[in-house]
Structure 1
Amino acid sequence: MQPEAKQELPSPWQLYCAFFACAVMLGSWYPRIPDVQRLGSLDGWELGFGLAGYPAGTLLLFTFGTQWAARLSFRRSFRLVVPALGVALIAATMAGNAAALFACMAAAGALQGILAVTGNVEADQIEAALGRPVLVRAHGFYSVATVMAGGAGIGFRALDVAPWWHLSIALPVATILVVIATIGIGGSIGKPAPTEQPARIVLPTSQVLVLFVAGGAALYLDNAASDWSGILLRDGYGADPTTVTAAVTAWAIGQAAGRLGFPNLSNLVGKEKLALLMAATAGLGLAMVVISPVAAAAFLGLFLMGIGTSALFPMAIAAAARLGDRPAATNVSSLSQMAFLAGIATPIVLGGLVQLVGVRWAFASGAVMLMASLAIQLLRRPFAR
């Protein structure tokens, strides 16, 4: 058998562009969630259950399909999976009930998990080859694409374009971008086969639990902002449909700013102080979202939430890799699995709270997570070198 040719690593800019292309479809999906809820006549519980399919699909991929996904080449995975992800999201816009929405979002989550595996593996190899970080900045470009796709969504909503048609227009754009981003990259990855099967379920240690609490607030608030910010503006502030569509863009701009600025801010103030500053910024933004009397202040609050949550969980992942009590991959897998389990519960909890106490108080529940994060950071200092 002929040995597989080794893949030429993409440049950092090719990685950034591939991440950008990946986010075009999801960035187009987020602003249309209120329309999907309205068209499907879904209440809060039903929408939350349907949206929980996304982290459920990602968890299944990471638990049972990581080794298979890691064998895919960077070029092949992105060129095949980005269009497939788009098709799954288009199907989600036409889901008429919670079960159908859950199934479509589970497929989208599993596909996104493939991109996460191959993209992060590639970023790790580039970082090792160049001796400088590129992953956080790659996620910054992901956020930039979310901002731009959200801006386009404002225009589509203003023209009253149906969600499925809107995403169908975005699909060829994302496909063309990912093909351009991967031009000139070899098609085979040429990695040695692993000698042992890693455990599929990795129980957390006390140190991993500490990191989960420290970074978990970001996941809860990110889920609230990405999936429910449009509904916040619609039901909590009585905003018009175009303004509702713009809500997620405010959060995405904050995410992009925080991720692109993370390397410089980390060098300037240190990771420990930066984590505290980010949690405090997210808390300020959350307070503005909950108690503001006007929609404009809620937009600013969503922007601050985006900045505050932009790097907390990636910092927790990096800290888990440095714990040293177990292999780095084991601790990272354990923390990731906890995050995915929480990700399944979060939209269901938020959906129930939206139905029971209203969307503003549903957002306010994130304050509990933020207080726990700040307390654990001050008492246990998980991000200290």
Structure 2
Amino acid sequence: MALSFASARLIMGLFFFYSFSISSWLIRIPDIQQSLKLEPAMLSVCLIGIPVGLVISMAFSGVVVERFGPRNAFRYGFWFLAAALLLPGLASHALWLFFALVLLGLTMGPVEVGVNVAADRIGVALGRTIMSRCHGFWSLGLMAGGALGSLAAAYGLEPHIHMALVALFVLVSSQILAARLPDALSDNGAEATAEKAPVFVLPPRNIVLLCLFGFGMLMVEGAITDWSAIYLRDVFGAVPPVTGFAFTTFGLVMAAGRLGGDYLSMRFGPVTMARVCCAFGLAGLAMMIFATSTAMVIAGAAAAGFGVSIIFPLAVTAAAGRGGSAAVNVAALSLLSFTGFLIGPPIIGFVTEVFGLRVGMGFLLLPALMSLVLAGEVRVRARRLDDAALGAVGSEAA
């Protein structure tokens, strides 16, 4: 069975269910905190578990995808992810919560790398990129999981029961979608004859600058995600629900940018769009930093949302097209980019402690400027899959 537009729709669905599962857990954090009676500092330590597990997982997920193929990586990866989703709600102590979240982070790597490599391979077969739309569906899944999780919390559904239902739903849905994907995604494709990758993956030399490009803007994304509500509250005296408006606007514009990102990058070119997005990100940050009202902060967050929207999809497409293994390159890019996403908020917190929150937010201008300077690294090199993996672009039913 050939890679086709139906395959693209299936992989977009897998992006949706992947993020849906993660956001369903994130929205229940306050309930877990209350049930375990955790102080904010202890909760922060526990929540480090996911990034610890994810960073470790990203270091070897590339070789897993390369050796077993992307479809097998995420098809079986969803089983481990679904099992891990059950653990945080069952934790009876902070220490067990930390280890449960480390395990959850470990299970995310093969799914993350697998779906991205599959999306890239389908895009090559179709002769057009689908990466931004896939990440758009990831954003939609994030919002859907958060919305349904909020309803579950509002109606008093216990977190462990909620997560059991989510795990079952995501597992069944992912297996149905993965089973309908063509066999071309179950092998190494053009990488079958490539040199075996090392088990522990650091960024290859030919994508280091590309990784730094992704690192900068994902640091911005992570910091705005975590600090925008606090910024509105502490600097402008906003109260709920206004404190959440900047993040909500940021997320909605980011999702819209991703859904339209493939058309824009094909119409104007990936390098042009990377530079435009980084410029929007810088302008939005500046508006937030020098804002004199909550409306200016929200408008700045909207511009920043468009700025970060297609940065990672563009970087993934470029990394997959560089020399060597696409799976290893994507894993290495994800490792460094997600490191930026995860360390951004603590760095802002440290700077804020010394100089104040406006200066803390102002620090983000440096990584955003770095990404703008490195935007040329997203230039895509012409390539194609081998004949066995490519097949004829068919029209099998969705």
TM-score using structure 1 length: 0.76
SS state at 1:73 partner: helix
* Residue 150 to residue 241, structure 1, CA distance change in 2 (3 Å): farther
Contact kept? 2:319, 2:333, Cα under 8 Å = yes
Tell me how far 1:203 sits from its aligned partner: 5.4
Alpha-carbon distance between aligned partners in 1 of 2:186 and 2:204, rounded to the nearest angstrom: 32
Alpha-carbon distance between aligned partners in 2 of 1:330 and 1:79, rounded to the nearest angstrom: 20
Letter in 1 for 2:20: V
2:15 aligned partner: 19
1:271 aligned partner: 270
1:145 aligned partner: 141
Tell me how far 1:255 sits from its aligned partner: 1.9
Letter in 1 for 2:14: A
1:59 aligned partner: 55
2:383 aligned partner: none
Single out whichever of 335-344 and 11-20 deviates more from structure 2: 335-344
CA distances 1:141-171 after superposition (whole Å, capped 9, x unpaired) = 1111222333445656777877767656655
Contact kept? 2:65, 2:110, Cα under 8 Å = yes
* Residue 248 to residue 172, structure 1, CA distance change in 2 (3 Å): farther
* Residue 168 to residue 259, structure 1, CA distance change in 2 (3 Å): same
Contact kept? 1:15, 1:123, Cα under 8 Å = yes
Tell me how far 1:309 sits from its aligned partner: 0.7
Contact kept? 1:55, 1:109, Cα under 8 Å = yes
Between the aligned residues of both structures, percent identity stands at 28
1:117 aligned partner: 113
Tell me how far 1:176 sits from its aligned partner: 5.2
Tell me how far 1:275 sits from its aligned partner: 1.1
TM-score using structure 2 length: 0.74
* Residue 78 to residue 21, structure 1, CA distance change in 2 (3 Å): farther
Please state if 1:286 is matched with 2:285: yes
* Residue 358 to residue 29, structure 1, CA distance change in 2 (3 Å): farther
Among residues 129, 133, 136, which one is paired with 2:129 in the alignment?
133
* Residue 11 to residue 251, structure 1, CA distance change in 2 (3 Å): same
Contact kept? 1:120, 1:135, Cα under 8 Å = yes
1:223 aligned partner: 222
1:262 aligned partner: 261
1:368 aligned partner: 366
Contact kept? 2:20, 2:143, Cα under 8 Å = no
Please state if 1:349 is matched with 2:347: yes
SS state at 1:216 partner: helix
Alpha-carbon distance between aligned partners in 1 of 2:43 and 2:347, rounded to the nearest angstrom: 11
Structure 1: gaps spanning 5 or more residues: 1-5
* Residue 294 to residue 166, structure 1, CA distance change in 2 (3 Å): farther
Aligned residues: 370
CA distances 1:22-70 after superposition (whole Å, capped 9, x unpaired) = 1113233445667777863224xx6665444333322222323544456
Tell me how far 1:279 sits from its aligned partner: 0.8
Alpha-carbon distance between aligned partners in 1 of 2:344 and 2:319, rounded to the nearest angstrom: 22
Alpha-carbon distance between aligned partners in 1 of 2:361 and 2:246, rounded to the nearest angstrom: 14
Alpha-carbon distance between aligned partners in 2 of 1:258 and 1:335, rounded to the nearest angstrom: 21
Alpha-carbon distance between aligned partners in 2 of 1:382 and 1:282, rounded to the nearest angstrom: 18
Instruction: Report the aligned-residue RMSD.
Output: 4.0
* Residue 104 to residue 304, structure 1, CA distance change in 2 (3 Å): farther
Alpha-carbon distance between aligned partners in 2 of 1:291 and 1:303, rounded to the nearest angstrom: 15
Alpha-carbon distance between aligned partners in 2 of 1:294 and 1:158, rounded to the nearest angstrom: 31
Alpha-carbon distance between aligned partners in 2 of 1:73 and 1:369, rounded to the nearest angstrom: 36
Structure-to-structure mapping, 1:230-269, within 5 angstroms: 230-244=229-243, 248-269=247-268
Alpha-carbon distance between aligned partners in 1 of 2:248 and 2:297, rounded to the nearest angstrom: 12
Letter in 1 for 2:360: A
Structure 2: gaps spanning 5 or more residues: 381-398
1:210 aligned partner: 209
Tell me how far 1:278 sits from its aligned partner: 0.5
Please state if 1:382 is matched with 2:380: no
Tell me how far 1:308 sits from its aligned partner: 0.8
Letter in 2 for 1:131: G
